[in-house]
Amino acid sequence: MERWKGRVALVTGASVGIGAAVTRALVQHGMRVVGCARNVDKIEKLAAECQSAGYSGTLIPYKCDLSNEEEILSMFSAIKTLHKGVDVCINNAGLAHDEPLLSGKTEGWRNMIDVNILALSICTREAYKSMKERNVDDGHIININSMGGHRVVPSADEHFYCATKYAVTALTEGIRQELREANTHIRATCISPGIVETEFAFRHHNSNPEKAAAVYETMKCLKAEDVAGTVVFVLGAPPHVQIGDVQMRPVEQVS
């Protein structure tokens, strides 16, 4: 990770869970991290904690609604003005709604597409543009995916979410192929965790906290820090090593 010290990383969905853990880890390793979310209060608190801990990097909170392309473009413009550009893009933001395929609301489906697919694609495009403008040939795009992007969970309230995550699997491989066509050494990686104990289930099942809690009570789940450690491992791999897709799950998780 030594070569990343002082470089700029963007982490989307940085306020809680995996995003917050990844942000903390990158700041600890000396990176300048722009952490974005719709609500930056928790990111500002995390920035203060990182500073108090004496981490060598810095955390810059940025308020951004990733379902709004104009806000994403404005964020990249601000990063260019203040920090020159993005060297590492961690597309972490994602969400799920209880909207089955046969009875779900279009609004919920659209929101999942906007955040899980379109925001990731827009951030990737703008990050690559930033790297290309500055002749950065060793950048990295990391998409935080899900095991739901590799198999369909037998639960109606997960099906549309899984479809968006299958898209992330395809997009990451497509990005890798296009980067090769562009003859660049910028890398693209997909990290697909199984069940991670975060606020995700409580947001997903926001009208049924008992159901949300039950998700994490059946086994020893992954922690957000486990995923953050995998991000650090991927970033720290030698520049000639392309780690394409990392699938990780709790030992006790069946599928």
Q: Which domains does the chain have, with CATH numbers?
A: 2-194+225-246 (3.40.50.720)
Catalytic residue among 55, 161, 166, 216: 161
pLDDT for residue 115: 98
State which residues of the chain have pLDDT below 50: none
pLDDT in tens, 140-180: 999 999 999 999 999 999 999 999 999 999 999 999 999 99
Is 161 noted as a catalytic residue in this protein?
yes
pLDDT for residue 118: 98
Strand order in the sheet with 245-248: 58-63, 32-37, 8-12, 88-91, 140-144, 187-193, 245-248
pLDDT for residue 207: 66
Two tokens, residue 169? 């699997």
As a whole number of angstroms, the distance between CA 175 and CA 180 comes to 9
pLDDT for residue 57: 98
As a whole number of angstroms, the distance between CA 17 and CA 132 comes to 31
Measured on CA atoms in the order 94, 1, 23, 30, is the torsion positive or negative?
A: negative
